[in-house]
Amino acid sequence: MNRPPLSDHSVVSAPVSSEPLSRLIAHEIQERGGWLRFDRFMELALYAPGLGYYSGGRRVLGALPRDGSDFVTAPELTPLFGETLAHQVEQALEATGTREVWEFGAGTGALAEQLLSNLGDRIDRYTIVDLSGTLRDRQHQRLVKAQPELVHKVIWADSLPDTFEGVVVGNEVLDAMPVQLMVWDGRHWLERGVSVDASQPLGFVWEDRPAEPGARPPTDRPDDAFVPGTVTETHAQAEAFVATLAQRMTRGAAFFVDYGFPEAEYYHPQRTGGTLMCHHLHMSDPDPLIGVGHKDITTHVNFTGIALAGQEAGWEVLGYTSQGRFLSNCGLAEALAATGQASTAEELRSRAAMQMLVAEHEMGELFKVIGFVKGPWFDALGFRQGDRTHTL
């Protein structure tokens, strides 16, 4: 999602927390003895049926605050993103001998629309898996009601089948998966969770408790390398998701686009505050305990953990690089040149969007792409120059 970088300290006043959602979370905290692990809190805040940020009917995706949205993703910035990604997907379909695309967390359906348009008859089916009923409705409106010819090609699935094949696409899906929070107190690793604020029955406060024996961030750095008070995240759910996909895929490939770092950067001792961040009306703040249900909660991705999870479950890494390099390798500049804009204004908008996708100070360096394959390894187009797999 095109969210402000962590160095951006602009903050918008937080909305009031959703009372029904807060009551649900407070009840679960009480049922669990007065303390709730943060990954469960984040799961409820984002995905509680009918109440969570993604499941409660909010318009989360859009270009500007005035439309009530909180962030915008690359496919909404420009159709050049999907057109360029389609070159890699098409190569992967050919290399793996498959004819189906699976997209997880499809947002407004913009990327699906772009891939379907560019892949055409190269695919027989496009399957979307999305937990948000509101977004699924927007996707259906965009992809089927507006284009009836796609009614037999685009389907929605509530869960992953026991086996499947094809090419998986996940644009900014890993960052929204719940994480555990770890705190180093100078002697021990603690787990940060949430309890109810005694002064505000529907308010929440942080509470640290001893972590399970042996629990610590997945890094080779010694504990004494970390500054006391350091907070960071671990990503068990995202890694389990990737492992499940790898185990159930019989043949195919997968490409995940997200913001994040390899392990050595993610758990660098100078990154003392972790990467947890919230977003509301295209502004950022660091506190997920206020405005519950009305703000996005997200963290950066540990791509080393994702790579290992995929490998251990049967995938082979095709490559890992920055979004800017990946899109350049896949022909983004050539796609822009071929658009033939009708006006100078349109051309300027397209060039500005392209710069946001590839520039190092925009999305080009912060966002990364990792690719996997099950079946014969192939020289994936997007990683032919600037592959950083050795940094994972």
Residue 300 has pLDDT above 60, yes or no: yes
Q: Which of 173, 112, 177 is nearest to 138 (CA)?
A: 112
Residue 380 has pLDDT above 80, yes or no: yes
Q: With pLDDT > 90 as the criterion, what percentage of the chain qualifies?
A: 73
Does residue 226 form part of some domain?
yes
Based on C-alpha coordinates, what's the Rg of the chain?
21
Mean pLDDT (whole number) for 336-353 = 70
Does residue 53 form part of some domain?
yes
For residue 8, what pLDDT is reported? 41
Give the confidence band of 99 by pLDDT, cuts at 50, 70, 90.
Answer: very high
Per-residue pLDDT reduced to its tens digit, 43-95: 999 999 999 999 887 777 766 666 767 788 888 888 999 999 999 999 999 99
Helix/strand/coil for 325: helix
Residue with tokens 């057109």: 83
Mean pLDDT (whole number) for 246-272 = 97
Q: Return the DSSP state at 16.
A: P
Residue 4 has pLDDT above 50, yes or no: no
Per-residue pLDDT reduced to its tens digit, 107-146: 889 999 999 999 999 999 999 998 777 788 889 999 988 7
Average per-residue pLDDT in the chain?
Answer: 91
34: left (phi over 0), alpha (psi -120 to 50) or beta: left
Selected residue with higher pLDDT from 321 and 8: 321
Does residue 137 form part of some domain?
yes
Contact status, residue 223 vs residue 216, Cβ threshold 8 Å: yes
Q: Which of 189, 294, 173 is nearest to 237 (CA)?
A: 173
- Which domain CATH number covers 321? 3.40.50.12710
Structural domain harbouring 323: 19-391
Does residue 309 form part of some domain?
yes
How many domains does the chain fold into? Answer: 1
Residue 1 has pLDDT above 70, yes or no: no
Does residue 6 form part of some domain?
no
Residue with tokens 């008859």: 121
Torsion 374-376-381-387 (CA) sign: positive
For residue 5, what pLDDT is reported? 44
Selected residue with higher pLDDT from 191 and 358: 191
Distance CA 28, CA 32 (A): 6
Does residue 8 form part of some domain?
no
Helix/strand/coil for 252: strand
Q: In sequence order, what are the residues at sequence separation of 6 or more whose Cβ sits closer than 8 angstroms to the Cβ of residue 153?
A: 116, 123, 124, 125, 126
Distance CA 270, CA 249 (A): 38
For residue 227, what pLDDT is reported? 96
Does residue 39 form part of some domain?
yes
Residue type, 334: E
Does residue 261 form part of some domain?
yes
Residue 342 has pLDDT above 60, yes or no: no
